Amino acid sequence: MEISELKSGITITGPKWPEPVQIKKVDNTGQYVHLVGSTTLSKEHIDQIIPISDLSDINIQTISTDFSSEAWKVFLALEAKRYRFASLYDPLLAMNASKVDPLPHQIEAVYGYVLKMPRIRFLLAHDPGAGKTIMAGLIIKELKMRKVIRRVLIVVPGHLKDQWRRELKDRFEENFVLVGRDYLGAHYAENVWERENLIITSMDFAKREDIIPSLSSSQFDMIIVDEAHKMSAYRYGDKTEKTGRYRLGETLSRVSEHLLFLTATPHKGDPENFRLFLDLLEPGFFATSDMLKESIENQDNPLFLRRIKSDMKIFLNFS
């Protein structure tokens, strides 16, 4: 190619680069040409001085369209591009892409608190009937569409496994796999936690001594625990007694970047028990129960949000 053809904005190819390069600046220094740009796929910065004699190996990339593709393929390509950038312009993307009609307190919890966190370590402690499953589904859907998470584990009481799977499938088109004794037996000698990306399991199955080691060796992008208050520990003097479920919580805290607890009864009337419970989200965040009590009284607690029924009624009245 000729030096006069090198202009800002064009895309070139050549043996010097593994992929096409978009030119942003060109300087002719006589026997050499100074090129500044970036690769089109990996976005790697390019800043090179090339001899004029090497321009013969460089070609201008042209894009031609023959309009011969099938309509449905064009539609899918445009939809893929639209979804890629949708979250930049639609702050409620998951809500608008799911079969749900969230209530104001659910939108507030999901978009006003949880999704604003760069690292989610949070407790949603709304009263029964607040729709915590819907809130969890919105969080999963939103983070998946933003490419923040891929591998998700949901830990629930055994009798709620099927309910969670149906809700996530029917409302959010998310296909979770139930992992239990039958699944473990069908995949003998495998780490079942690494086999699937979207998993629902029961709390009492996951806490078993023969299960914990394989769970500890896995890694998830996000873990959600329903009825999380069941993971309890108790302080007797200088001694802390941890239940099997609490030790499960410690494992879950270690193997996931994002951790979300759901419960309608977070506080059992024992401040130290509640502090140990929050320790699973952020170990050592509250050094003493007095610090936790002061934080609650000042309504300055970044670890949990609670809405009682009267609060939710106020939201509904204002909406």
Q: In which residue ranges of the chain is pLDDT below 70?
A: 87-89, 268-269, 309-319
pLDDT at 319: 41
pLDDT at 126: 84
pLDDT at 140: 96
Domain extents for the chain? 3-60, 89-318
Query: What's the pTM?
Result: 0.70
Judge whether 3-60 and 89-318 match in fold: no
Report domain 3-60's class. mainly beta
pLDDT at 317: 45
Interaxial angle between packed helices 309-318 and 104-112, expressed in degrees from 0 to 180 and rounded to the nearest 10: 100
pLDDT at 139: 95
Structure tokens, 268: 């059992």
Residue 173 φ/ψ region, left for φ over 0, alpha for ψ in the -120 to 50 degree band, beta for the rest: left
pLDDT at 262: 94
Average pLDDT, the chain: 87
> Which CATH code of 3.40.50.10810, 3.40.50.11540, 1.10.1530.10, 3.40.640.10 fits the domain covering 89-318?
3.40.50.10810
